[in-house]
Chains A and B, each alone.
Chain A
Amino acid sequence: MSILADKKVIIIGDRDGIPGMAIQACAESAGATVVFSSTECFV
Chain B
Amino acid sequence: MKSVIKGAGYILVHTPDMVLHNGTTQTTEMIVNPDGQYLKDLPSHIRTWEQVLEYWPNQVYIGNKHPDELAAVPQPWYNKPCDVKERYGHFGQMMPQQEFLLLMQACDVFDLVKLEQGFVDANRPALAANPIIDEGILGRIPEKQTSAEEIARLVAEEHSEGLYHLGQLVGCVNRAHDIDVNLSAHVMHENLVSKASSVMALLSAIKNAGIDKNEVEYVVDCAEEACGDMNQRGGGNFAKSAAEIAGLMHATGSDARGFCAAPAHAMIEAAALVASGAYKTVVVTAGGCTAKLGMNGKDHVKKGIPILEDMVGGFAVVVTQDDGVSPEINLNMLGRHSVGTGSAPQNVIGSLVAEPLERNGLKITDIDKYSPEMQNPDITKPAGAGDVPLSNYKMIAALAVKRGELERKQLASFTVQHGLTGWAPTQGHIPSGVPYIGFAREDIMAGKLHRVMIIGKGSLFLGRMTNLFDGVSFVIQTNSGAEEEKKTEEAAVSEQQVRGMIAEAMRDFAAALLAKAEE
Contacts and interface: CB of A to CB of B under 8 A. Distances in A.
**A and B touching (Cβ–Cβ under 8 A):** yes
Interface of A: 15-16, 18-22, 25, 37-39, 41-43
A23 to B, nearest CB: 9
Contact of B345 (A19, A41, A42): A19
B345 A18 contact: yes
Contact of B467 (A20, A25, A43): A20
A16 B385 CA distance: 8
11 contacts: A16-B386, A16-B391, A20-B343, A21-B467, A22-B342, A22-B343, A38-B461, A39-B459, A42-B384, A42-B385, A43-B385
Contacts of B344: 19, 22, 25
A-B pairs with the 9 shortest C-beta distances? A42-B385, A21-B343, A19-B343, A41-B459, A22-B344, A15-B459, A43-B426, A22-B343, A43-B375
Contact of B428 (A19, A21, A22, A43): A43
A27 to B, nearest CB: 14
Nearest to B395: A16
A19 B462 CA distance: 12
A43 B345 contact: no
Given A19-B344, A20-B461, A43-B385, 12 more contacts: A15-B459, A15-B469, A16-B385, A16-B386, A18-B345, A19-B469, A21-B343, A37-B467, A39-B467, A41-B459, A42-B385, A43-B428
Please report whether the interface of chain B is mostly helix, strand, loop or mixed according to DSSP: loop
Contacts of A37: 467
Contacts, number: 48
Interface string B350-390: 00000000000000000000000101000010011110100
A21 B386 CA distance: 21
Given A43-B428, A43-B431, A22 B345 contact: yes
Contacts of B345: 18-19, 22
Contact of B380 (A21, A22, A25, A43): A43
A21 B260 CA distance: 19
Q: Which of A19, A38, A42, A43 has the most CB of B within 10 A?
A: A43
Interface string B421-458: 00000101001000000000000000000000000010
A25 B296 CA distance: 30
Given A15-B459, A21-B467, A37-B467, A43 B343 contact: no
A25 B342 CA distance: 10
Contacts of A41: 459, 462
B325 to A, nearest CB: 35
Q: Which of A15, A38, A39 has the most CB of B within 10 A?
A: A15
A20 B467 CA distance: 9
A42 B383 contact: yes
Nearest to B375: A43
Contact of A43 (B342, B388, B461, B469): B388
Contacts of B391: 16
A36 to B, nearest CB: 11
A21 B426 CA distance: 24
